[in-house]
Amino acid sequence: MRRRSALPGLGLALGVTWLWLGLIVLVPLAALVLRPWELGLAGVWASVTEPRVVAALGLSFGAALGAALVDLPLGLLIAWVVVRYRFPGRRVLDAAIDLPFALPTAVAGLALTALYAPNGWLGAPLAAMGVTVAFTPLGVAVALAFVGLPFVVRMVEPVLRDLGPEAEEAAAVLGATRWQAWRRVVLPALGPALVSGVALAFARAVGEYGSVIFIAGNRPMESEIAPLLIVARLEQYDYAGAAALGLAMLLLSFAFLLVFGVMQRRLRRGVM
Amino acid sequence: MIEVRGLHLRYGGVAALDGVDLALRAGEFVALLGASGSGKTTLLRSLAGLEFPDAGQVLIEGRDMAAVPARERGVGFVFQNYALFRHMTVFENIAFGLRIRPRGQRPGRTEIARRVEELLALVRLPGMGERHPDQLSGGQRQRVALARALAIEPRVLLLDEPFGALDAKVRKELRHWLRGLHDRLGLTSLFVTHDQDEALELADRVAVMRDGRVVQFDTPEALLAAPADAGVAGFLGDAVPVDCVVREGRAWFEGLPPVEVAGVKGGKAVAFLRPVDLLAEAGAGEARVAAARQDGRGVRLTVEVAGMLLEATPTPGWAPRRGEACRVTVLAARVFPA
């Protein structure tokens, strides 16, 4: 017998949820999973272990992880400043954080390229110091850090606001130094939100295309990202090969997100 | 023990503290009483090193605290919302102040565990160490906050609205328990409250604050008997202001018999009358019983005199009924020129 609930509508709501999730997420993913096998198991394996593909996957995931890890302290700092301090222009800064979300990624990519190119505003002084950003893996990481940053800020911000200054004040009165208060009170409280933000920034970065391809230079084996290879295969009508690479990215992403999920659960255990 | 001299603190042009002077003796339990915005929490936070006064001195045990950061003041502080560390267990919360000490002064593991158990027993939460703060009731959280503050063995305990968030029954229990604890541990305590009952019942002395200043600092008895000004008189003891005229050493009311007042200059004045100042007895008079209600403390009587509703004390043995005529005598009044 069905139990009555004060919040009716579970059946309907769950049904609609599954329908939309199916149409928008699961069916396309299923197609992706089914498509490559016309190559046969060995063909799929060969297609994703080509040296050029392995290098591209390594760059995509490595740069995405690096970018997400750069976004971690940067996003935390920005969230901190926006939540804890009152200063002129705070609202403008707050709004500007989301701009990477709103900007067409190609525009962002062109802007970053112009900025970091060897003759750009930032590229020229960096080149003088012997650092080349544009058209290298470093450039890829810079673009990915740019698109991922808002995720970390927006995940951390509400938790930090909820934590309030009292916890830190309590730590200080009990004899804690600034560092101890951070290490033992603030960071553990923010831990799960930080991991969520990093996971989202990472996920976004792995799939990023538009903002990267301009600054990356797309040199095979060096600065070519996996999504670009997929597009390249599609242009050669190698649909199965593109799907195989897509599937490989899907599985790798899933594995990474699973690890982030476990980390988050570990950190949260203390909080709940 | 604690001394504050000429403390000034402005927040964006508004004076939160406007020349506060206050001196607490060792072992005293003192209440900071005032309406919200009177500066009492700011004063408390200044003592703990969480606010930085623009001018004036804070001395704790004779030492000027101006250059001493909060973490080195060694005072116990209980926050209004307790500010417990939510990601830590009760045990870890209480142990925090001991664990963060520099290596040389840090007690060993077993010593910390022993101290925490001792504190848990002291705040009557034995065996609750493994819980998390959100698994506790408000009263229990308050006691954890207190145990955490006491773990660093402070000589001075500062409490910001310690009972503010608790329901009436728990609040009363905790009050007496806290006072007992203070006496047992030989602390010097200062607590902020806006509840006059709490202040008058608990404290050795009460500092009444208004507009960033201490307007009167005295024992509860002295405060009730001789309020410094009309503001204090109106704030304490459920007093009702009644217009009167002072002539020949007496205050004359409309509808009430006059009462002797000493040292008030003649002319228009305001008398503050508390329920205990007005004695009502049965019999023909100008007053009428407007309401009478029995509660745990006796009969709460409201009489109507000359269009005013005043709370009064009935004579023993009389059971007033609504609408009944009665006579009211004024036993005492605190009178201030209008």
**pLDDT in the model for residue A57:** 93
Predicted complex ipTM exceeds 0.90 = no
Burial class, B184, CB count within 10 angstroms (exposed 0-12 / middle 13-18 / buried 19+): exposed
Sequence-distant (6+) residues with CB within 8 A of B75 are A173, B47, B48, B49, B60, B154, B155, B156, B157, B158
Our CA-based measurement puts residue A175 at a distance from the nearest CA of chain B, in whole angstroms, of: 4
Minimum mean pLDDT among A93-107, B85-99, B108-122, B284-298: which range? B284-298
Helix (H, G, I), strand (E, B) or coil at B58: strand
User: Do the chains contact at B70 and A172, CB–CB below 8 Å?
Assistant: yes
Which residue out of A87, A159, A160, A174 would a mutagenesis test of the B interface target, given it has the greatest number of B Cβ atoms within 10 Å? A174
The residue type at B93: N
Rounded to two decimals, the pTM is 0.80
Work out the pLDDT band at B255, boundaries 50, 70, 90. confident
Residue B333, both tokens? 């009044």
User: Do the chains contact at B87 and A172, CB–CB below 8 Å?
Assistant: no
**B138-169 pLDDT, tens digit each:** 889 999 999 999 999 998 999 999 888 788 88
Nearest residue on chain A to B49, alpha-carbon basis: A173
Point out the residue among A167, A188, A272 whose CB comes nearest to the CB of B83.
Answer: A167
**B79-103 pLDDT, tens digit each:** 998 999 988 999 999 999 999 999 8
User: What are the chain B neighbours of A187 within 8 Å (beta carbons)?
Assistant: none
